[in-house]
């Protein structure tokens, strides 16, 4: 049905380093414009969550990740955006393949102002709504989750 909003599946990745830092970029999008968000994107047909996480991080930042693991799933209904959307988001955690390769590139400048590392205890503002909700709930990508 044309014009009908349907839920989509996204994968977002907490790329972590030094036991306290996470990679974030400032979005340029009709959804969450100018807010800081994790790398990630739409799950493609036939793709595993781990494959999607690695692909999206590579496409957006040029960084290679490994030890990709599932953290949790969130249900995000974004009614107040310029383009309302509903995303089921799979949150993953990963580390860099090579710590020396820690400077992210901005490979999609039409979608992001740039990437940087931030201490979990000192995150930039504003955070993308779904990420802000996770932070406010006490969630941490540095703790074990079930």
82 pLDDT band (50/70/90 cuts)? Answer: confident
pLDDT at 2: 42
Full set of structural domains in the chain with CATH: 9-97 (3.90.79.10)
pLDDT in tens, 132-143: 999 999 999 998
Asked if the model's pLDDT at residue 3 lies above 80, the reply is no
The CA distance from 114 to 1, in Å, is 36
* Res. 1: pLDDT tops 50: no
Per-residue pLDDT tens digits for 36-46: 999 999 999 99
């Amino acid at each position: 049905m044309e014009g009908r909003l349907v839920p989509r599946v996204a994968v977002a990745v907490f790329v972590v380093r030094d036991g306290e830092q996470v990679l974030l970029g400032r979005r340029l999008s009709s959804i969450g414009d100018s807010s800081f968000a994790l790398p990630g994107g739409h799950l493609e047909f036939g793709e595993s969550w781990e494959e999607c996480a690695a692909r999206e991080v590579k496409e957006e930042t040029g960084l290679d990740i490994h030890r990709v693991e599932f953290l949790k799933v969130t249900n995000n209904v974004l009614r107040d955006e310029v383009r309302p959307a509903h995303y089921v988001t799979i949150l993953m955690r990963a580390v860099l393949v090579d710590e020396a390769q820690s400077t992210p590139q901005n490979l999609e400048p039409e979608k992001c102002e740039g990437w940087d590392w931030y201490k979990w205890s000192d995150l930039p503002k504003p955070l993308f709504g779904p990420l802000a909700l996770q932070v406010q709930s006490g969630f941490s990508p540095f703790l074990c989750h079930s």
